[in-house]
Amino acid sequence: MKQKQSIIFIAALFLGVLFTASADIGLSIRYFDKRIYYVPGTAAPSGSMDPIYVQVTITNDSPSPFRFKLADERVFSIDFEVRTMSNRLLDPAPFLLRKRSQSQQVYFREISIASGESFSFVENLRDYADLQQSGSFIVQARMYPELYRTAAAGNPVHPLESNRLSLSLRPRSLIGPDGIPLEMDVETNAVLVREKLSPDEVVKYMLSARQKSQWEKFFLYLDLESMLTRDGVRQRQWIAESEEGRRQMIARYRTDLQSSVVDGDIAIVPSEFQIERTNYNEQEGTVIVLEKFKIGPTVTERKRYTYYVRRTYDIWTIVDYTVVNLGTE
């Protein structure tokens, strides 16, 4: 009897240590590259259906190393719970169901996190939840140190739970007559329509949108086809492409421009700007703008931009630009 009590005491002590250690092991999630997200079957502003990448971080604040199993197929180590604002749980994604329903060997590696260190990896939320409807949602992750399959088998497993993230999914983009999705205003969720603005108003609209990180408005008056084909190599590629290939080229160019991979000068956020001179005739014109950029607490860089605009069907759009560096102040 005394031996049995000793075993129970040791087991209780072990569990107490386990739970204390678990309390010092943190699981946190954040968006890896947060952007505007759309429901499936739509084209985002970049022209493609972007994944929803979430960075998962495990932090060890305990005095001892933390060891866990990380499956090669992450669906056996991590799970995401996505709920509506009315607390309704979304169905799992078809990809997740396929992976977990297969009879297969789960390969994994042992990970050890030293005290005071952390380990991170990135997962696509669309692989875990069936995100078919627009709206607002709450996202939470669960990490299974001994793999999800062990938990599903009914063994006592205590997953790590993360913080909660808010997720907003935009409705389907409306397709314009040219097959390109119409832009949507993030603030009002209304379709953005090009208006009959003067050349200087067009440039002011674009720069103001960039200052506010409103990409959908920033792109509204940019003629991406004209800007893309300024380069001789891309122009020859454009001519050789099919209609679908050209749409993909514009989509890639738009994504690269937003990421400052190409034409970074036009994507830099000005701290202030002043339109100095506007010249135009019936079809084309230029708008010269002095722009300032904060590059330090006391240093401001000055550049003079010349935006070239063209009028098509009574709408002015920006088709090119040049930059002259004026030094710092």
Q: Which residues pair with 53 in a beta bridge?
A: 124
Q: Confidence class of residue 285 from pLDDT cuts 50, 70 and 90?
A: very high
Higher pLDDT, 122 or 177: 122
Please name the residue ranges forming H helices in the chain: 2-23, 94-101, 148-152, 199-211, 215-218, 224-228, 232-240, 243-258, 264-267
What is the pTM (predicted TM-score) of this model? 0.48
Of the chain, the percentage scoring pLDDT greater than 90 comes to 28
Q: Where are the domains of the chain?
A: 2-170, 199-328
Specify whether the CB–CB gap between 76 and 106 falls below 8 A: yes
2-170, CATH topology level: Immunoglobulin-like (2.60.40)
If DSSP codes are grouped into helix, strand and coil, which group holds residue 74?
helix
Model confidence over 121-169: pLDDT tens digits?
Answer: 888 898 899 888 888 999 999 998 888 865 455 555 678 899 999 998 8
Q: Confidence class of residue 50 from pLDDT cuts 50, 70 and 90?
A: low
Q: Confidence class of residue 207 from pLDDT cuts 50, 70 and 90?
A: very high
Model confidence over 70-102: pLDDT tens digits?
Answer: 888 888 889 999 999 989 999 998 888 888 877
Q: What is the CATH number of domain 199-328?
A: 3.10.450.50
If DSSP codes are grouped into helix, strand and coil, which group holds residue 92?
strand
Give dist(CA 266, CA 260) in Å, integer: 9
Model confidence over 298-317: pLDDT tens digits?
Answer: 899 999 999 999 988 788 99
